[in-house]
Structure 1
Amino acid sequence: MNEPQRTVRRAAKVEAEVHVPVAIVGGGACGLTAALMLADTGVNCVVLERDALPNGSTALSSGFIPAPGTRTQREHGVAGDSAGRFAADIQAKAHGRAAPALVEAYAGAIGPALDALQARHGLEWMLLDGFLYPGHSVHRMHSLPQKTGAALMAALLAAVEAAGIPVLTQAVVDTLVLDDQDRVIGIDYLRPDGRRETLGCDALLLACNGFGGNPKMVRTLLPEMGEAAFGGHVGNDGSAILWGTALGARLRDLGGYQGHGSWVTPQGALMSWAVMMEGGVQLNCEGRRFHDETQGYSEAAVHVLAQPGGIAWNVFDTPLLALARGFPDFCEAEAAGALRRCDSVAALAECIGCEAPVLQATLDAMRDGAAPDGRVFARGLEAPYFAVKVTGALFHTQGGLDTAPDMRVLRQDGTPLPNLLAAGGAAGGVSGDAVWGYLSGNGLLSAVAGGYIAARTAAALVGHKEASA
């Protein structure tokens, strides 16, 4: 892949046939949420999307969003959760290295954002209350009934269409146009036939995700993931970082990312980590466990890649198979032939390619209750055993443009650019600067909460401009 050309040009004005109050670059969960919230306030916007159909990283995710204090949470009788408790969980997972102001902003905004999407745009949330995801102290993970990111994108797109919001697809934005006061006044973009077009705007939101699809950036900034499978969207080419660098904007937490230690191979599908949390284990080709699986699926990617061949086996039994089959991603992987049934320890050892006595000792240690790494098992696994071959993968990056809590992009000196905003994967997230800082759901948290906050900021900026015109 060639390095994308993302530039900034200066002009006193733009020659554009169309001018909108707010332009949004990127039609994933972040951009579409922002567009819906702007429509609710009566502010017109246009979403520009590089693909023929908006999908992005959201469609490739599980579509799960953590949020405290929602209507859905209350209806399920979940008590004691709050933005403060959620913020504490985020910081605990990041070892205190997440940006405090952003943690507070996202934790406070995500509940109202989900409630607004439900009340005004028909997204009917359900609460995943059968188990706790790593790092969460209470059940707060929300999903649409289909439990897929593709369903989330379809619902957002349907809402955008119903609201009459224009989404310009196959529009590759490559240039930001700013005046001499650092105010964005337009954007240049390419059409499929090679034509270049310009759109004028009063405010711009970059919602174009991170750099996981840019191999050169990944090898430079995330060397441990340089050769890992990429489970995200190839359009995550680092555009926001390239524009920010050209503008002299400040960058943050470029070493942060979401990995996943359960990327089914060779099928290339995601297996839910719920199986690990409820008693499943990861074994290497020697038949040994090699980390505490309950610490999180993001850092598990690094642990798995460190094993011989970068391979591990997810091993579980019949009750856990029933749990796994509640997730569409697993069902797709099973249909593709990923699931192996083994009726005995000897058969499981043959499947993995390890010595049966070593494997037996691993399984026996689970029955003892507490493993040397500190993980506590409520029970051991019982035959028949089931195994799925997995590797570690990179899903999306968590570093990017540094922003104020209102999503305005910051200069190197910490002052905000007048009307340039960034959210979701384009901005630095709340996972700190390392893989282990990622709390389950942080990606869609920053996308949806960030889009919600950015819309309020953009609406205020545009309103102020109109009032002073």
Structure 2
Amino acid sequence: MSASMDRRTFLTGATTAGALATLGLAGCSPQTKNSAPQQLSETGSESADSGERQYLEQANYDIDEVKDFDVVVVGAGGGGMSAATRAAELGLATVILEQNDMTGGTTMFTEGLFAIGSHHQKEQGTNPPDLGYDLFTAAMDYHHWYANGGLFRKYINESANDIDWMESVGIRFKGTGTMCDNEYNTWHVYEAEEGELSGQKYVQSWTSAVENAGAQLVLKSEAINIIVGEDGAVTGVVAREGNSYIQYNAAKGVILATGGYADSPELMREFGKNPDRIQPMGSGGRNGFGINAARQAGGTLAPSPGCLVFYGGCLPGVDYGTHLYCASAFQPYFWINQDCDRFVNEWYAERNFSFSGDAQSMQDRVLSIVTQAQMDNMYENGGTFGCGEYIHAGVPLTKLWDEYQAQVDAGNEGIHQADTLDELAQDCGLDAEKLKAAVERYNGFCANGVDEDFGKAAEYLFPLEEGPYYAFELNAGIFTTVGGMRISHDAEVLKEDGTPVPHLYAVGCDAGGLYGDAYDVSICEGSCQGFAVFTGKMAAEHCAAQS
């Protein structure tokens, strides 16, 4: 027997994940007693009638089943699985809902996470003696102190303990390192076999941790509504599972871990970004439900708007970490904008890919231009720069031409090839005289060994000599978004007056307070994934402490 209810649901598009692997556990029947379905009038039409803003759409639907738990976690990425594992460890009846048909979300595409003072750093002799105080100041200065200092301090203080806890539940690391040649070595790289994507192994390990702790995992369960009682406390969520609507009651807390808003053009625009120039990578479905649900329940956004976590340029239709991506978007060759002007030191593709992405996002168009000789050299000898753990510098890009031809055959409009610069300009819709002048000026810098415009080191000054030429039109690629709800130091969602929304938590990319306007990769490598684990664990522990 079903009950009629009102709901607010954020309507989404595709929710299927990228096909790396099918991970996770089938949902099993709840261990707790089912309750009678309740009417959701308190989150329904009354507020609409009063003219208050609605963050989730309203509609009518029938509840098919009601399930009771202590904790309901929404989203099975790193933050959600951390929260579910810890909550179940602490004896709480826990369910974790994942809208996709596998666990992981964008965590699948990560390679490591942040910590400082860990036993790995101590064993490798890379543990800073100040236990991160210099790092804290450097990071907060980097963020112009827009980040939440107390929250950031607690994150740093707990990060080594978080590594120990993760290892206790089966997560493995192969050591620490740095992508940006910094002194802190905060990047704890996941353990993986040769040729295996480290993020895939990491997600598999988390999925096992969720199962072993006793939490219930439900795949293909899309949370569409948040339930708020008359006293303002959050009491659960409603999820759509196939053609059914399930009400999940939470006696102690709802933990929102939905991964931010990278796939929501509407929220991109609301937060001042241009979605037309942004290309998110990851599993898809990051529709901002967590942020909108928290606002619907009375929460407020963090004062700092946060940022997009750029990874630099990207050729539309080409996946991050492929050989064509590495050649077209991640090398220190020659980049211009719509006016045929260079606009950044191309070395930032590797030196600080977040800043590279910031610069590229400010242009109307970005084109990366290379010669036939440079393409052939990358095929035979590899790129000057690699691409994280996916491709290492100097390793031949043996799939480059096959991937290139596949994109040409598919009609990728971002790829241009011509024998001369005049022909290339015509094909790209650029001013030929401006293009030739820009190339001539840049080649002069290469000949003299001094980049008079952007100070690129001489070792990365590669001239554009004779053709044929290849131009790749790039979007600004992002890993994820960072910035969302204002939270306490225990991950509680806060209202505008600074008091908590009872029984509601936001973790990972649904939470704000971590960054200013850019990813701090040059200081705290892996900080986004580390923050997800930290806030997820912290939220679970706070739930357990509630009477």
- In structure 2, list runs of 5 or more residues that go unmatched: 1-7, 13-38, 44-62, 406-417, 426-434
Matched-pair contact (CA < 8 Å) for 2:179–2:388: no
**How far 1:352 sits from its partner (Å)?**
8.0
Aligned-residue offset at 1:55: 2.8
Give 2:454's aligned residue: 373
1:246 Cα shift?
1.8
Q: Distance in 1 between matches of 2:140 and 2:40?
A: 35
Residue 167 of structure 1: aligned partner: 217
**In 1, distance between residues paired with 2:187 and 2:534?**
14
Contact 1:264 1:333 (8 Å CA) reproduced: no
Judging changes above 3 Å, is the alpha-carbon distance between structure 1 residues 327 and 64 closer, same or farther for their aligned structure 2 residues?
A: same
Question: In terms of mean alpha carbon deviation, does 202-211 or 438-447 score higher?
Answer: 438-447
Q: CA deviation at 1:234?
A: 2.8
Q: Is the contact made by 1:251 and 1:428 (CA closer than 8 Å) also made in structure 2?
A: yes
Matching residue within 501, 504, 512 for 1:417: 501
Matched residue of 1:103: which SS? helix
Partner SS for 1:22:
strand
Whether the 8 Å contact between 1:214 and 1:238 is mirrored in structure 2 is yes
Distance 1:201 1:84 in 2: 39
After TM superposition, give the deviation of residue 348 of structure 1 in Å: 11
Aligned to 1:363: 446
In 2, the alpha carbon distance for the partners of 1:8 and 1:257 equals 35
C-alpha deviations, 1:265-290, integer Å up to 9, x for none? Answer: 441324799999x9945522798752
Matched, 1:310 2:366: yes
Pick which of 407-416 and 67-76 moved more: 67-76
- Deviation for aligned residue 1:347: 9.1
Task: Report the CA distance between 1:247 and its aligned residue.
Answer: 2.2
Letter in 1 for 2:185: H
Distance in 1, matches of 2:420 and 2:93, equals 59
After TM superposition, the score normalised by the length of structure 2 is: 0.70
Match of 1:457 in 2: 542
- After superposition, the Cα gap between the structure-2 partners of 1:34 and 1:282, relative to the gap in structure 1 and judged at 3 Å, is farther
SS across alignment from 2:290:
helix
The residue that corresponds to 1:258 in the other structure is 309
**What does 1:126-165 correspond to in 2, within 5 Å?**
126-129=174-177, 131-133=178-180, 136-146=182-192, 148-165=198-215
Aligned to 1:405: 489
Identical pairs, percent: 18
The reply on whether 1:337 has 2:418 as its aligned counterpart is no
Taking the aligned partners of 1:435 and 1:93, their CA distance within structure 2 comes to 9
Q: Match of 1:213? A: 263
**Cα distance between partner residues in 2 of 1:325 and 1:418:** 43
Change in CA separation of 1:102 and 1:279 when aligned onto 2, cut-off 3 Å? same
- State yes or no: 1:248 paired with 2:298: yes
Tell me the equivalent position of 1:98. 147
The farther-off stretch of 66-75 and 312-321 is: 312-321
Residue number in structure 1 paired with 2:4: none
**2:498 and 2:504 mapped to 1: Cα distance?**
14
Structure 1: segments with no counterpart, 5+ residues: 340-345
Shift of 1:447: 0.9
Partner residue, 1:267: 318
* 1:96-131 CA-partner distances (Å, limit 9, x unpaired): 22111221122222222122112x1222212353x5
| Closer/same/farther in 2, CA of residues 127 and 374 from structure 1, 3 Å limit | farther
Q: For 2:389, which of 308, 311, 327 is the aligned residue?
A: 327
Quickly say closer, same or farther: Cα 1:197–1:245, change in 2 above 3 A: closer
Q: Say if 1:264 and 1:271, in contact at 8 Å, map to a contact too.
A: no
Residue 42 of structure 2 corresponds to which residue in structure 1? 10
Aligned match of 2:116 in 40, 62, 68? 68
The aligned length equals 446
**CA offsets, 1:384-406, max 9 Å, x none?**
99999443123322121100111
Distance 2:294 2:539 in 1: 17
1:140-193 Cα deviation digits (max 9, x unpaired): 111213454333222211322333321111111122222233222222211112
**Structure 2 CA distance, aligned partners of 1:357 and 1:238?**
46
Q: Secondary structure, in 3 states, of the residue corresponding to 1:431?
A: coil
SS in structure 2 at match of 1:458:
helix
Cross-structure match for 2:22 = none
Question: Against the structure 1 CA distance between its residues 265 and 447, is the aligned structure 2 distance closer, same or farther, given a 3 Å change threshold?
Answer: same
Question: How far has the Cα of 1:255 moved from its partner?
Answer: 5.0
> What is the aligned partner in structure 2 of residue 181 from structure 1?
231
Shift of 1:38: 2.4
- Tell me what 2:135 maps to: 86
Counterparts of 1:413 and 1:308, CA distance in 2: 40
Which of 158, 165, 171 is equivalent to 1:123?
A: 171
Code of the aligned partner of 2:191: P
SS at match of 2:223: strand
Corresponding position of 2:335? 283
1:80 CA drift (Å)? 1.3
Larger radius of gyration: 2
Cα gap change, 1:49 to 1:200, in 2 (>3 Å): same
Secondary structure in 2 aligned to 1:269? coil
Which residue pairs with 1:342 in the alignment? none
CA apart distance, 1:333: 7.5
Deviation at 1:297, TM superposition (A): 1.9
1:123 partner SS: coil
- Shift, 1:424, TM fit: 0.4
2:166 and 2:457 mapped to 1: Cα distance? Answer: 39
Task: Tell me which moved more, 404-413 or 389-398.
Answer: 389-398
Q: Is residue 38–residue 455 contact of structure 1 (8 Å, CA) maintained in 2? A: yes
Is the CA contact (8 Å cut-off) linking 1:267 and 1:336 kept in structure 2? no
Q: Secondary structure at the match of 1:10?
A: helix
CA deviations 1:188-241 (Å, max 9, x no partner) are: 211112333333432111111211211122123233344422224432111122
Taking the aligned partners of 1:348 and 1:296, their CA distance within structure 2 comes to 32
